[in-house]
């Protein structure tokens, strides 16, 4: 696989400054630093409960925004099997009650 200059820049940015890869233009602040240990631990618990990612994206070193986005994504993917915590992250219309239809 060949990467152009832009591809290499994005790859390097994602390795050394995760915020750059997401287009934030600066390195992201950890969730713990952003909201404190107690609240960050709650986001982590929720993230781990609903994340279906093969590589666990739930880490206190990530920004709270990234954790919340993973929670929203996981809740949406779980559909009707989503836990109650998902009600505060997604609209009920986004949770498919019956995926067989």
Decide if 20 is inside a domain: no
Kindly give, in sequence order, each residue whose CB lies less than 8 Å from that of residue 46, ignoring residues fewer than 6 positions away.
67, 71, 85
In this structure, is residue 49 part of a structural domain?
yes
Is position 85 within any domain?
Answer: yes
Structural domain of residue 87, as residue ranges?
28-94
Residue at 21 is within a domain: no
Asked whether residue 82 is assigned to any structural domain, the reply reads yes
pLDDT of 7 reads 46
Q: How far apart are CA 76 and CA 99, in angstroms?
A: 12
pLDDT, tens digit, for every residue of 63-82?
A: 999 999 999 999 999 998 99
Residues 6+ apart with CB under 8 A from 5: none
- Domain total for the chain? 1
Q: Is residue 78 part of a domain?
A: yes
Ranges in the chain, pLDDT < 70: 1-27, 91-101
């Amino acid at each position: 696989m060949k990467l152009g200059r832009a591809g290499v820049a994005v790859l390097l940015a994602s390795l050394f400054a995760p915020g750059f890869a997401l287009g934030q233009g600066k390195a992201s602040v950890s969730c713990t630093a952003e909201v404190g240990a107690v609240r960050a631990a709650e986001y982590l618990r929720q993230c781990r409960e609903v994340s279906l990612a093969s590589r666990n994206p739930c880490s206190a070193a990530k920004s709270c925004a990234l954790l919340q986005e993973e929670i929203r994504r996981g809740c949406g993917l779980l559909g009707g099997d989503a836990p109650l915590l998902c009600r505060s992250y997604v609209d009920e219309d986004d949770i498919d009650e019956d995926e067989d239809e």
